[in-house]
Homo-oligomer: A and B are copies of this chain.
Amino acid sequence: MGGFLSASSRRTVLAAAAATVLLGRRAWAQASDPLVSWNDGAAKQAILDFVARVSRESGPDFVKPAERIAVFDNDGTLWAEQPVYFQVQFAFDRIKALAPQHADWKEKQPFKAVLEGDARALAATGEKGLLEIMAVTHAGMTTEDFAKSVADWLATARHPRFNRPYSELIYQPMLELRAYLHANAFKTFIVSGGGVEFMRVFAERVYGVPPEQVVGSSGVVKFQMGADGKPTLIKEAKVEFIDDGPGKPVGINRFIGRRPILAFGNSDGDHQMLQYTAAGPGARFMGLVHHTDAEREYAYDRQSHIGKLDKALDEAIARKWTVVDMKKDWRTVFPAPR
């Protein structure tokens, strides 16, 4: 004892031993590795390097904390999106829940197709059919009543393959990434093609993202003063803004008002958001989740109807953006069931 290690090395070893005992092994591993669910590799290293570069106050790539804005797509980037977008599944389930009050739906499209689970007949109703479904499930009610219908659905519905609540089919590595960014003074936003009022119901509880940091598509909302003198906000069956594709940089400009330095997506719907992020000055991080894991989740990209990843993948490869290979790069996909 003594002399073999320097005094400072002894202190380090003792501190590590004490931390292991006090925190437990798993917690200690987490404390020392903020991205434990990421396997070592180029993607993980690129994240660690980028955050270190923009945080180093004396370095050439330092970014003031107020400007460390990070944006994340939701469907396919923070939670799963197969076999159908979860919000569309919500709409279908809602049609079924409302059907007893609408006897005519049994014989009326597109409702008949939804009630009978007839995908071909539903597809035949086209965009008009989808808008009708959205109108009865997402409009004609107060913002509060809509939020309640989403909360009720999340509390009871289960994913057909994983038999888990939809809000548990979130990506553990992305939770860790966002926590790591927060620990380094980043402010993170969701920027999604999904409905903003839909996402806000669970974003705070599930992701820790407050409502004011959720950007999404929206329908028109009208202020209405009730006869009782109580004002309400009514959701109307009219599209106001589609936060997808070229709409994403527009939504970022409108809601956030500054260009992100980090953006993460998974599909061509995120392409312009990544281009817009890449075009700013200084250090930048552009990331894509590539769904390559049919066993633990799903494998899809260029040919997929949902979450098609084609042009954005080409540009990511050409410009050396970070492409996360789900199968190789993620040790864990979903959090362990509670």
Residues of A within 8 A of B (CB): 66, 69, 143, 187, 189, 196-197, 200, 204, 210-214, 218, 221-223, 225, 230-231, 233, 246-247, 249-250, 253-258, 272, 275-276, 279
**20 additional A-B residue pairs with CB within 8 Å, beyond A221-B250, A223-B276:** A66-B210, A143-B253, A187-B212, A196-B254, A197-B257, A200-B257, A211-B256, A212-B255, A212-B256, A214-B257, A223-B246, A223-B249, A223-B272, A225-B272, A225-B275, A231-B249, A231-B272, A231-B275, A231-B279, A233-B249
A72 to nearest B CB, angstroms?
A: 15
Docked pose: A196 CA to B196 CA in angstroms? 20
Contact across chains for A212 and B257 when beta carbons are under 8 A apart: yes
**Distance, CA A266 to CA B213, complexed state (A):** 28
Contact yes or no, B258 A218, CB < 8 A: no
Distance in angstroms from A317 CB to nearest chain B CB is: 16
Contact check, A223 vs B196: say whether CB atoms are below 8 A apart.
no
What CA separation (Å) do A212 and B221 show in the bound complex? 21
**Separation in Å of the A224 CB from the closest CB of chain B?**
8
Chain B, residue nearest A144 (CB): B259
In the assembled complex, the Cα of A279 lies from the Cα of B223 at a distance in Å of: 13
Q: How far is the CA of A310 from the CA of B306 in the complex (A)?
A: 53
Contact at B255–A255, with CB atoms within 8 Å? Answer: yes
Contacts A223-B276, A249-B223, A276-B231; A218 near B254 (Cβ below 8 A): yes
Q: Choose among A143, A214, A218, A254 the residue with the greatest number of B CB atoms under 10 Å from its CB.
A: A254
Pull 13 A–B residue pairs with CB atoms less than 8 Å apart, ordered by A.
A66-B210, A69-B212, A143-B253, A197-B257, A200-B257, A212-B255, A222-B250, A223-B247, A225-B275, A231-B249, A231-B272, A233-B250, A233-B253
Question: Which of A197, A222, A255: most chain B Cβ within 10 A?
Answer: A255
Provide the bound-state CA to CA distance between A233 and B204, in Å.
Answer: 30
Roughly how many angstroms separate A213 CA and B212 CA in the complex, as a whole number? 8
Chain B residues whose C-beta falls within 8 Å of the C-beta of A211 in the assembled complex: 256-258
CA gap between A211 and B260 in the complex, in Å: 12
